[in-house]
Amino acid sequence: MTVAPAPLPRRLASLVRIEHTVFALPFAYVGAFLAVDGWPGLANVVWVTLAMVGARTLAMALNRVVDAELDARNPRTATRELPSGALTRGQVLALSGAALAVFLMAVSQLDPVVRYLWPIPVVMFVVYPYLKRVTWLCHFWLGACLALAPIGAWLAVSGTAPWEAWAIGGAVLLWVAGFDLFYSLFDLEHDQREGLHSWAVRFGERGVFLGARTLHAGSVALLAVAGAGLHAGVLYWLGVVATAVLLAYEHSIVRPGDLRRLDAAFFTLNGVISVVFFVFVGLDVMVG
């Protein structure tokens, strides 16, 4: 019996893993709330949200187009929408164009400074999927892409980006790079066969764990530095502590030679971390 294909919107949402927006969007809200030390206004929240969704959709769609041939040769990714034929290249490029249009529309409604800076994230999105063909430092580029969330939202709401915004952006960079090191373990054998570069290929499984621990410790430290600069309240500091505890738990459930819970560590916990930290920051600036 032939199974009917899923509706096109569902296939497109699956392509870009729309649910993974939870990784970066809460940190954009962190930047927006801290920029004004309170509620940034409904209009700003709506436009920041649309800008983030558009930017992330564009980044993921471009990544899928660039990596389509590599994905087809990787057993883990061969069933993705492009290599499996569930979507055509034209459909994904059309999605990219629509996402860019949403991003630009949203940016045009925010502080004028971001109207001139919008090409920066777009260029970073285009470059990222090619980096693993060149360097194992690609994880840090991905982290920098997501670090734009708090920095960009801070700029979009206030027109400024003080050093505390960059510290939080740096924390996001190290956090994302750290959990992306774990993610690289999923494709270690494939990347070695294809001659691709990753931290796992360069330093091995144990190197991944050491690197991730170091990066995540640095992430917590930068959140603390930003909090000190902002003279943050108790709830902010509870958010830092909660983040540290969740990261420690993430590292406790996977270890070299035992990756059975790697999916949980990568997907579930990191989504929880971003939401939890935002909730504490939001409460701190709203009730503090």
Mean pLDDT by 10 residues, the chain (288 residues): 70 81 89 96 97 94 94 91 93 96 97 93 96 96 96 96 98 95 90 94 94 97 98 97 95 80 74 94 92
Q: Is residue 141 domain-resident? A: yes
pLDDT of residue 217: 98
Which is nearest to 80 in space by CA: 94, 65, 95? 65
* Domain count within the chain: 1
Q: Is residue 14 domain-resident? A: no
β-sheet bridge partners, residue 258 = 255
Rounded Cα distance, 6 and 184, in Å? 29
Q: Is residue 16 domain-resident? A: no
Q: Is residue 123 domain-resident? A: yes
Task: List the domain range (segments joined by +) for residue 237.
Answer: 23-287
Q: Is residue 37 domain-resident? A: yes
Q: Is residue 4 domain-resident? A: no
β-sheet bridge partners, residue 255 = 258
pLDDT of residue 267: 72
What is the full DSSP assignment across 76-131?
TTTTSHHHHTSS-HHHHHHHHHHHHHHHHHHHTTS-HHHHHHTHHHHHHHHHHHHH
Amino acid at 35: A
pLDDT of residue 2: 45
- Domain with residue 76: its CATH number is 1.10.357.140
Cα-Cα end-to-end distance for the chain: 60
